[in-house]
Structure 1
């Protein structure tokens, strides 16, 4: 039923002219549009990501981030938990009696959604869409926002269907749906509560402003950081003097450059300070705490926010959230690589277990929530990362478990106890869900196995060389001062003295 005329319409996004059978996703829900689909109503406060594709797979996806409510509160933590599930928060916009209506029109040339700009013709067009909002709602063209339901349930909103046979069954279904919705909104808040407008502008670029002054940050599945892009000579930049064809290539190259991600600079091959030599470099390569601290402090110093001590850590957590969600929704390859780089840097920083205990605990809480939701979108996280699957993450968690045990055992106080508690929750979940064992001592790494014909062979787990310091990881002692010999490839000294 449409709302009474005296009441303000709920936050709504209108999608006029969207072709039927278009693949649509909002947050972690995906569905295929119907001819009667014209938008989504009852948007809760907070960040949302709406994206489309011409088909469910094998097509370029494009989408945009936008914020419902007072955007100055974005990134301030879990507002959802602070105010309770389903609470309608008072925003600056609502206090000004201005309904939050977002209008994204389908562009047939780019096969993507564009917001209306602040020009006279498009302002009049926006007024027309808003004036017809009530009739669109009455026809069932606006689907109610859901955070965690099946695609079939969302696509059937506004259409008639069979109801439960009894009132008791209907009430039971409603209670389950409310509980699922409450849990879904709380999870989405936890997946986005460190994302800020500044972070999106740093990674994606300046936002587009619509006719009502609402910003939105656009992303495509082809967006990439420069380090992850495949550069093809002759195609990356326009040729000089190439005429119209060169101009067209130049426009494409400029558009791609505008979409280039501005990720945090992470170099896992150099994690020590400038000028470090010897033991310091070796320790910094094994324990990346210096590189993590340098990255955090760099963004602390460059922050214009009031709480500069937390600015760098917020940037790390926000980028972890952004990259993960772009993998899940857009299947973006560059975001997957950056998500893995961030986790490898953080989870291999041993001193940070007690020096930055709050950050490490927050990362583990976020990682657990991400893993719990990684199968919500088709494909799943580990299926998208086809080369390694979950092996990279399991190995990182095993190293972290060993580091946490050593830090806690070697400290007289409570250093690392928060990290150990959060890691325990994560460890229990991956054990139940993926059957991962993070305790190195519980895994048989070398032993004898009997074949079908009765022959016994010795087997050794791949990757054991690094932990056992054997093979290519075996230490080699070189005497630089004594003797007149040199080392052969096998490490033995060859006598170079000439026989008389």
Structure 2
């Protein structure tokens, strides 16, 4: 690197042990003895994580932003509002994360001590030598077979890779931007907590694969915190320090307080009220309490949808998988919102398509790690939203929601052979076995659609005293008994 040139955004990882799993955005690899960091980081959000092994080990990572962080979270269509997070530093964007052997994770050099500041200056002064020696891995959004056959930082490999797949690289960067363009410091701080700040004032939000929301944690009395036992292990502290603060979604209660009868039934079938209530609660207020900007509330849902998926993609975080599913179930079971929140619903479908295109990047496969449900959960939701769109939007009417859903439907049909049109799905019929015997088969979860089984309507006899309270009825019964005793 010529000394007269400003260094490109770089993350330095000094003292990182060889054969450590390192991941940056959509790329993961095993480090070598000559690997000291990643250079040429493009602007935008990045997620860097490490693990002592490629599979069965705790993964630790951090979100950070390259560029002006006050402008993030608006998405491609610039519809969300994000509050600027203080003054922006003009220093070269060099991130120094030193390996901490006590917790087997990367730690920032902070400005709290003179030793950290002096150590940061030494690493920065040696940046040119690391560049010359090939110790810095050039940022890539994807890794090709040609690149895997060379050590990170090899100049011939980089040249050959740039010539062969520049278009593929741009596609990968575009995918990453679309997967993270709704994240903001406000959203990350709400979910993860306040960031730690390094020696140059760069914030980063730490996450581990063990991080969880309280609702998804398994609390076993006498096991979580045994009496008389004091846990002082730094490793144990790292595993327990982060508790996600997700948006509160209660899918068992999707109606307003005091709703009864038909209103309650409709709100259970169409969760638009619950979605609107959540958006309202997390929307910013303009001019005090007078004007509500619901675009900011919608941005909170979109950002959390992106965050949870990326944490599943990179960290295989169980709690994030559960919240991702809760968000999708809330949004994709809305009917009125298809018309009332057309821009929001279409963006959710567009984002979901991008996420599904990358779901095979999850180690073991996204649907496989979800246990028995697998893709059945998502297929069910897509079938419901398809039916709702067809019923709510008249034929021949232009709709952004319908356009995005058609793209998603075509993709899942080609990739998974999913049929989303209910009339094209055989839900009950006769199956002939090899010996000629015929048995009647019925699709799983058909009860809800056919209103049979536990979903069958129930007739309740309210009797003659349907307007009398229990206390009044008890008093009448007692009075009747006394009257009988007199005779």
**For this structure pair, what is the TM-score category when the shorter chain's length is used for normalisation?**
0.7 to 0.9
Where does residue 87 of structure 1 map in the other structure? none
Q: Structure 1: how far apart are the matches of 2:45 and 2:250? A: 30
1:229 aligned onto 2:217: yes
- 1:453 paired residue number: 435
* 1:469 equivalent in alignment to 2:451: yes
Partner of 2:356: 371
Provide the rounded CA distance (Å) in 2 between the counterparts of 1:347 and 1:403: 9
TM-score by length of 1: 0.85
Q: Report what 2:333 is aligned to.
A: 348
| C-alpha deviation, 1:384, in angstroms | 1.8
Given that 2:10 and 2:38 are in contact with CA atoms closer than 8 Å, whether structure 1 keeps it comes out as yes
Name the counterpart of 1:158. 153
Q: How does 1:69-468 map to 2 (within 5 A)?
A: 69-78=67-76, 93=89, 96=90, 98-118=91-111, 119-150=113-144, 153=147, 156-159=151-154, 174-237=162-225, 239=227, 242=228, 245-246=229-230, 248=232, 258-301=241-284, 308-409=293-394, 414=397, 417-468=399-450
Contact 2:135 2:153 in 1 (8 A): yes
Conserved 8 A contact 1:51-1:64: yes
- Is the CA contact 2:210–2:240 (under 8 Å) kept in the aligned structure 1? no
Q: Contact (CA 8 Å) 2:211, 2:240: kept in 1 or not?
A: no
Change (3 A) 1:324 1:209: same
- What's the offset of the Cα at 1:458? 1.5
Residues 5, 161 of structure 1: alpha-carbon distance in 2 compared, 3 angstrom cutoff: closer
Check whether the contact 1:238–1:253 (CA below 8 A) recurs between aligned residues.
no
Checking the alignment, whether the CA contact within 8 Å between 1:68 and 1:100 is kept in structure 2 is yes
> Partners of 2:236 and 2:54 in 1: how far apart?
27
Q: CA deviation at 1:144?
A: 0.3
Task: Give me the whole-angstrom Cα distance separating, in 1, the residues matched to 2:164 and 2:449.
Answer: 48
Quote how far apart the aligned CAs of 1:136 are: 0.7
Residue by residue over 1:289-346, the C-alpha shift from the partner in whole angstroms, topping out at 9 and shown as x without a partner, is 1100000001115689998331100000000000000000000000000000000000
Give the Cα–Cα distance (whole angstroms) in 2 for the partners of residues 368 and 423 of structure 1.
9
- The superposition leaves residues 207-232 of structure 1 with CA deviations (integer Å, 9 ceiling, x where unpaired) of 00001110000000000000000102
The equivalent residue for 1:496 is: none
Residues in 1 aligned to 2:140 and 2:235: alpha-carbon distance in whole angstroms: 37
Work out whether residues 11 and 43 of structure 1, in 8 Å CA contact, stay in contact via their aligned partners in 2: yes
CA distance in 2, matches of 1:328, 1:148: 15
> The residue matched to 2:282 in structure 1 has which SS?
helix
Distance 1:48 1:162, change over 3 A: closer
Matched residue SS, 2:380: helix
Q: Is the 8 A contact 2:431 2:439 kept in 1?
A: yes
Q: SS of the counterpart of 1:373? A: helix
Q: CA deviation at 1:354?
A: 0.4
CA spacing shift, 1:148–1:163, aligned 2, 3 Å: closer
Q: Is the 8 A contact 2:147 2:157 kept in 1?
A: no
Question: Structure 1 residue 120: deviation in Å?
Answer: 0.3
TM, length-normalised to structure 2: 0.88
What are the Cα deviations for residues 438-468 of structure 1, in whole angstroms up to 9, with x where unaligned?
0011011111121111122221111111111
- Any gaps of 5 or more consecutive residues in structure 1? 81-90, 165-169, 485-500
Q: Secondary structure at the match of 2:212?
A: coil
Q: After TM superposition, give the deviation of residue 257 of structure 1 in Å.
A: 5.9
Conservation of the 8 A alpha-carbon contact between 2:147 and 2:158: no
Q: In structure 1, the residue corresponding to 2:97 is in which secondary structure?
A: strand
2: CA distance, partners of 1:442 / 1:204: 44
Q: Please, which moves more after superposition, 376-385 or 64-73? A: 376-385
For the 8 Å contact 1:43–1:145, the answer to whether it is kept is yes
Aligned residue number for residue 34 of structure 1 = 32
CA contact (8 A) 2:284 2:292 kept: no
Shift of 1:151: 7.6
Partner Cα separation in structure 2 for residue 4 and residue 109 of structure 1:
37
CA distance in 1, matches of 2:13, 2:140: 17
- Please report how far the alpha carbon of residue 161 of structure 1 lies from its aligned counterpart in structure 2 after TM superposition: 6.7
Change over 3 Å in CA distance of 1:79–1:370 after alignment to 2: same
CA distance in 1, matches of 2:391, 2:335: 9
Deviation at 1:381, TM superposition (A): 1.2
Equivalent pairs, count: 454
C-alpha distance in 2, partners of 1:291/1:392? 20
